[in-house]
Amino acid sequence: MNVQTAALILSAVLHTVWGQNPVLSVRPRTAAVKLGETVSFHCRVTSGSQPVQLEWKRSNNQPLGDNVKLGPDGAVLTIANVRLSNQGGYRCIATNAQGKGTITATLTIRQPPKVRVTPSGPLSVRAGESVSLECSVTGKPRPSISWIKQGSETALVSTTTDATASLQVRVMSAEDAGTFVCRAQSREGTAEGRVELRLEGGFPQASVTETDLTAVEGQSVTMHCHATGSPTPDISWSKLRAPLPWQHRASGGILILNNVGRQDSGQYICNATNALGFSEAYVQLEVDSPPYATTLTDETVARPGEALRLQCLAHGTHPIRFRWTRVGGASMSPGGGDHQRRRAEDRAAESNGQRHVQVCGDQSRGL
């Protein structure tokens, strides 16, 4: 190898060593901080010919921001009181006589979850209607989303995307209404949004025209019940601790009992029901038996001068009043008795030996 060739080789080696483009490293390459915190990126030239000039630029070519500061030699970039607009990439650019070198650092802002529920409540819903609740969530890292009903931790079935969760609620009764909660969770915290669903309408209220009824066996009885509320309540009839009489007819708020008997006495219940609940009203029915009388014997024979004792039994609904009369209207001798029997004593001598018929009659509740 001659001297000229060796000189060329040495010159090429020295140009490679001393004429290299800048090579950079940065730490950290990525940083995740919360709003309001401070973060710094350190850019270092690992190789390349000197002198080297360093500068920082945003990856999106936007200005660095008024809260971004650079160190004296441009190697350190510091972001104070981080805000959302600072999020993104930052390029460290090194320039020397041979060219440029670039490396990028990335800033991610950790955001606690935020929740927005639409429509906002409270919402009034009619029975049988459905309502769609939409929950929109932001936050980094991406939060998980779920719907629950207040008072329960059981997750409800919803349609979920990366940032939304839709819940369909069908309100059939008061139990279906209430407060529904959208919950977003990440390692940065938990956020909740609430919406209240109210069942529209009025609670049912039942009332009867008469609360106490009295009838005589064989008669017909009609009971009237009225109900208010929204939705319009359905009215039904029942009897306390017994089925309705088999000869009954019910139509809406009217209950008709035909040919009533003593066994039909009792409490009848009018029940008004709608989606909000139910209400009851009561009718007390007493069925009386008409009075009738019987005697222990149809004919009694007495001798003149003997005491005559007649006994009468009255049947029917109490209280019962007794009254004795003589057939033909003749007067009776004084007698005594109690509420169940009446005695009449006549002297045969006073009747001149003639046969007389005495009648026991009864009256019940003025019937």
Residue 229, domain CATH: 2.60.40.10
Q: Are residues 24 and 89 in the same domain?
A: yes
Residues 81 and 177 in one domain: no
Residue 11: enclosing H or E segment and its boundaries? helix 3-18
Whether 264 and 170 map to the same domain: the answer is no
Domain identity same for 76 and 44: yes
Looking at the structure, tell me whether residues 17 and 98 fall in a common domain: yes
Of the residues 175, 199, 223, the one at which a domain ends? 199
Q: What distances in angstroms separate CA 90 from CA 63, 95, 238, one per listed residue?
A: 11, 16, 80
Find the distance separating the first CA and the last CA of the chain, reported in whole Å: 152
By CB atoms closer than 10 A (0-12, 13-18, 19+), residue 179 is middle
- 346 with 294, same domain: the answer is yes
The residues, ordered by sequence, that sit 6+ positions from 191 with a Cβ below 8 Å of its Cβ are 112, 113, 114, 115, 137, 139, 143, 183, 184
Instruction: Give yes or no: residues 263 and 325 share one domain.
Output: no
What is the domain extent for residue 45? 3-111
CA distance 345 to 332: 8
The pLDDT assigned to 324 comes to 75
Cβ pair 220, 249 in contact under 8 A: no
Number of structural domains (the chain) is 4
Q: Are 113 and 137 in contact (CB under 8 A)?
A: yes
Domain boundary among 183, 199, 215: 199
Same domain membership, residue 135 and residue 70 = no
**Same-domain status, 25 and 95:** yes
Same domain? For 239 and 282 the reply is yes
pTM: 0.49
Distance, in Å, from the CA atom of 285 to the CA atom of 261, rounded to the nearest integer, reads 11
End position of a domain, from candidates 111, 127, 147:
111
- In this structure, the answer to whether residues 101 and 11 fall within a common structural domain is yes
Residue 336 pLDDT: 43
Closest by CA to 115, choosing from 148, 143, 154, is: 143
Looking at the fold, whether 301 and 243 belong to one and the same domain comes out as no
**What integer pLDDT is reported at residue 329 of this predicted model?**
67
- Print pLDDT tens along the chain (367 aa): 565 555 444 444 444 445 689 999 999 999 999 999 999 999 999 998 889 999 999 999 999 999 999 999 999 999 999 999 999 999 999 999 999 999 999 999 999 999 999 998 899 888 788 999 999 999 988 999 999 999 998 999 999 998 999 999 998 877 889 999 999 999 999 999 999 998 887 788 899 999 999 999 999 999 999 998 878 899 999 999 888 988 899 988 999 999 999 999 999 999 999 877 889 999 999 999 887 777 767 677 777 877 777 777 776 666 777 777 777 666 666 554 443 344 433 333 333 333 334 455 544 444 3
Q: Residue 62 in 3-state DSSP?
A: coil
Instruction: In whole angstroms, give the CA distance from residue 176 to residue 247.
Output: 39
Given a contact cutoff of 8 angstroms between Cβ atoms, the answer to whether 249 and 256 are in contact is: yes
